[in-house]
Structure 1
């Protein structure tokens, strides 16, 4: 099977959530398929360089002269870059390369899907990672895209797509975890004589970080809260922690390279992600793979893998006291911590990248079999030089 992935930033070391999803799927599928990743050039992720993925790079358009138009550009900076990338792909024969080398092509962002589905001859697949609103981008994609197949990364997202767009999602392909990397028994990066509560995520209110500060301030005894992640609200977090009289118990580690996260899980006693909204909550899954008991919020996306009282604990959204009560249950009972951690590690095997890639591979075979043979491209082949890695 010849499978293509298209994402402007999926090749880089500092990729975000959707880009990491793309990297992991491409790498896992490359073990038994011919996989091509079309992305802008940059500092490639080791995950890709160590895999059998053929990376085909376009120029980077971050510093293109049109950057000066960003304050007034109707599409915004990210979509400006995507538009330039697709324009370059058409002019430089990349579309011909896709038609000649692929059986199926995956996109993950609305403008990529809208543009490519109308210019390539191979079947295209669009994966919804979140659908929180029904703006112009979603409307245009829904009306003008020629994509044959829709996927979603969670049950909640699939339901939103069905309700908002009246479109059927063919398959759920969840995010995955590298259970070989995220596992118990690694050397801890943090330690303390007091119990450690670990938070990993963006430092924004929607991740529930302020609820967590409030909850920890209400706990009996001494605990430390270790916070891993980047964001623009560090000053606000420090101020709120001082107001709660607990600043000396909070440690901000900043952004940590993803491969180093298991060492932070290894030093913690409980993981807590009290998000207000979450389509899946990958940080929870990674903690569970490390056999770290998880306290998180009762969101539909999280309930996909976490069963309250069996492999973790669920608290009410935006309720610091309920969160404090659940944290107390875990911190006061070594037996509960062990039980939740062991069951979490066992249950999370269904959500490894390898397992999700296996399901995606089967979807590809079924989708290609159902698709009618594409007509040969009418345009003359365009000579081009492709940067590959």
Structure 2
């Protein structure tokens, strides 16, 4: 069972998405999107309603696996009430985000919650060795309770598509395509990529395609204005959000995928692009170097350096021998990141803390 806070009054209480898996929407506070720090005020109500739902339906759980810091707060309390082990995956950490210095800082209250959970959880899953080391260095976590299990990717979905066919379908015929994708957030570093694109000058038929965000998004609007101010508005296509099933066509259509993030615990976009056979240029931060191997399947660049990104993009676009070598290595370099392996390693961890393959609860009220 996956418990999450109800954000849409039109959603059913329970959504069954597989024979043995379902999402249960729990009302807590006003129904609708809410700032993550305000959601924290409603976590006690969330916990009470989850316990009430389980009690009324006669459900017992053998463990709790929570994701992100808000859910970790709720999951820890639920696990203690149910006398069940607590496993946590944070995905992102306040002190790491604050160290990236990308604007409004995460609250110390959030950092203290993360520190407490790191001390009390039965097991922690880190997405990379870098994240594991950061938990120890910045939070004083016990390294022996932290297990590195990279998030998996669907290798059946993310696979190479014929490039010319993909470009024809997406209307990108004749262009050299630089692709970027992700949540529109300052931590993703898309401003750096726009600056780098401007430094490329008036290269013939070279286009930046940026996937993510939606109309009315303030951060997306800021990027659109920046592109116009830099004089590259006609060479940048803001696609908006794209269904996951369509992403392989975009990755395959690209000559290179750029991940200019200021921090990534793992780097899912980089892994998906490589699985589609597309070389990646990425910031040398966080977990990205565990995926992008410099001059093997892509290039690593110092973060926040538009000049370095521009130079690397030119190198990959102009050096056909290098491009062929990076492309050849791309997919096989992420063959170990399958969903099946991630599931197998996660189940092994569940069993290592004394669990059978019995009902589980996952808390997902994240932000």
Q: Report the counterpart of residue 128 of structure 1 in structure 2.
A: 90
- Secondary structure of the equivalent of 2:138? helix
Cα distance, 1:163–1:97 mapped onto 2, change above 3 Å: farther
Cα distance, 1:235–1:138 mapped onto 2, change above 3 Å: closer
Equivalent pair of 1:153/1:174 in contact (CA under 8 Å): yes
Cα distance, 1:52–1:299 mapped onto 2, change above 3 Å: same
Cα distance, 1:183–1:120 mapped onto 2, change above 3 Å: same
| TM-fit CA distance, 1:233 | 2.4
Unaligned residue ranges in structure 2 (runs of 5+)? 96-106, 357-367
- Secondary structure of the equivalent of 2:192? helix
Aligned 1:1-389 pairs, distance under 5 A: 6-8=3-5, 41=12, 44=15, 49=17, 51-55=18-22, 57-61=24-28, 63-64=30-31, 76-94=37-55, 97=58, 99=60, 102-108=61-67, 109-133=71-95, 135-140=108-113, 142-143=115-116, 146-168=120-142, 169-185=145-161, 187-188=165-166, 189-190=169-170, 191-219=172-200, 221-222=203-204, 223-230=206-213, 231-368=217-354
- Secondary structure of the equivalent of 1:368? coil
CA distance in 1, matches of 2:245, 2:72: 29
CA distance in 1, matches of 2:200, 2:23: 52
- Secondary structure of the equivalent of 1:117? helix
Equivalent pair of 2:3/2:26 in contact (CA under 8 Å): no
Q: Report the counterpart of residue 377 of structure 1 in structure 2.
A: none
Unaligned residue ranges in structure 1 (runs of 5+)? 13-39, 371-389
CA distance in 2, matches of 1:59, 1:234: 31
Cα distance, 1:173–1:95 mapped onto 2, change above 3 Å: farther
| TM-fit CA distance, 1:43 | 8.9
CA distance in 1, matches of 2:174, 2:274: 23
- Tell me the alpha carbon deviations over residues 135-176 of structure 1, each in whole angstroms, 9 at most, x when there is no partner: 223424644775322222222221121123322243111111
| TM-fit CA distance, 1:227 | 0.9
- Secondary structure of the equivalent of 1:295? strand
What count of residue pairs does the alignment treat as equivalent?
A: 327
Q: Report the counterpart of residue 36 of structure 1 in structure 2.
A: none
User: Taking structure 1 as the reference length, what is the TM-score of the superposition?
Assistant: 0.75
